[in-house]
Amino acid sequence: MKVPRTACSRKRTPMGRTLSAAILICLNAPVLAGAQPVPPSPAPTIGTQAPAAKHRGFFLGIGLEAVYLYESWTPSGATPGAAYEGWGTALDATVGVRVRPGLIVGGRWQVAGLVDLNEVFQGLTYVPTHQVRLMNTLGAFVDDSPVRWRGLHVGGGAGLLAASTLDWNYGAQSTAWGGTLWLQAGYERRFSRRWSAGVLVGLAGYRTWRDEAAVSSAANGLLTTLALAFAFE
């Protein structure tokens, strides 16, 4: 009795064997070439985030400030001293680098101008006219913004100070040199990708020395600032 041929028992034709061999060669071409199989990418885990990119770059800050000065001046010898106080304005410029998110280090230049400061001498107050006090500060600063309080930043710095007094009545000019330390705190909000604006409060303490008319003297002072600050980075 003859068994009928089925589809499985049929002999393959030469063309079918050639086509099967070509398919097998194509499927195994990466293995034959020595390529390693690519592992499947892991599925994303719910609740995880990509690591934040390091924020390193140029920083530029400009501040328009109102300042209040109090200074105690003491000459050498038995001559009594005096105190000076008054309001003025200042321009502040900072250039730095953000070394990590929130932390900026750099340099600072500030120039403050105060006109006709009140002078207190032996209990009496005098208001001189046509006198200008110029205070130039050049130093280094560091400013940090805590991640928990976004927008708030605190910092400080140290530098050199040149305090010049110009007396237009007598055509006189004198300059005292010294050092200064300051602290600052502020709050800022971004209004574009690169620009931010905010307010900044600062307190600087300084000490200066000068020699004038063969008389040496020293001065200790406090300079309080309130600034409208703009930053670009």
pLDDT value of position 148 = 64
Q: Model confidence at 6, in pLDDT bands (50, 70, 90)?
A: very low
Q: Model confidence at 51, in pLDDT bands (50, 70, 90)?
A: very low
Kindly state the average pLDDT of the residues 79-86: 91
pLDDT surpasses 90 at 185: yes
pLDDT surpasses 70 at 89: yes
pLDDT value of position 71 = 97
**What residues does each domain of the chain span?**
57-232
pLDDT surpasses 90 at 60: yes
pLDDT-above-70 percentage for the chain: 75
Kindly state the average pLDDT of the residues 122-132: 88
pLDDT digits (tens, 9 = 90+) for 190-201: 889 899 999 999
Q: Which residues contact 84 (CB under 8 A, 6 or more apart)?
A: 69, 70, 71, 73, 117, 118, 119, 120, 133
Kindly state the average pLDDT of the residues 155-180: 93
CATH architecture of 57-232: Beta Barrel (2.40)
Kindly state the average pLDDT of the residues 208-218: 87
pLDDT value of position 104 = 94
User: Pick from 110, 114, 160: which is nearest to 134 by CA?
Assistant: 114
pLDDT surpasses 60 at 66: yes
pLDDT value of position 146 = 80
Could you write out the three-class secondary structure of the chain? CCCCCCCCCCCCCHHHHHHHHHHHHHHCHHHHCCCCCCCCCCCCCCCCCCCCCCCCEEEEEEEEEEEEEEEEEEECCCCCCEEEEEEEEEEEEEEEEEEECCEEEEEEEEEEEEECCEEEECCEEECCCCEEEEEEEEEEEEEECCCCCCCEEEEEEEEEEEEEEEECCCCEEEEEEEEEEEEEEEEEEECCCCEEEEEEEEEEEEEEEEEECCEEEEEEEEEEEEEEEEEEC
pLDDT digits (tens, 9 = 90+) for 97-110: 989 888 999 999 99
Q: Model confidence at 7, in pLDDT bands (50, 70, 90)?
A: very low
Q: Which two tokens stand for residue 117?
A: 């400061």
Q: Model confidence at 213, in pLDDT bands (50, 70, 90)?
A: confident
Please provide the average confidence, as pLDDT, over all residues in the chain. Answer: 82
pLDDT digits (tens, 9 = 90+) for 144-167: 988 767 789 999 999 999 999 998
pLDDT value of position 47 = 43
CA distance 189 to 152: 9
Kindly state the average pLDDT of the residues 23-46: 51
Dihedral (Cα; 189, 191, 196, 201), 10-degree rounding: -40
- HSE of 44 in the Cβ direction (CA atoms, 13 Å)? 5
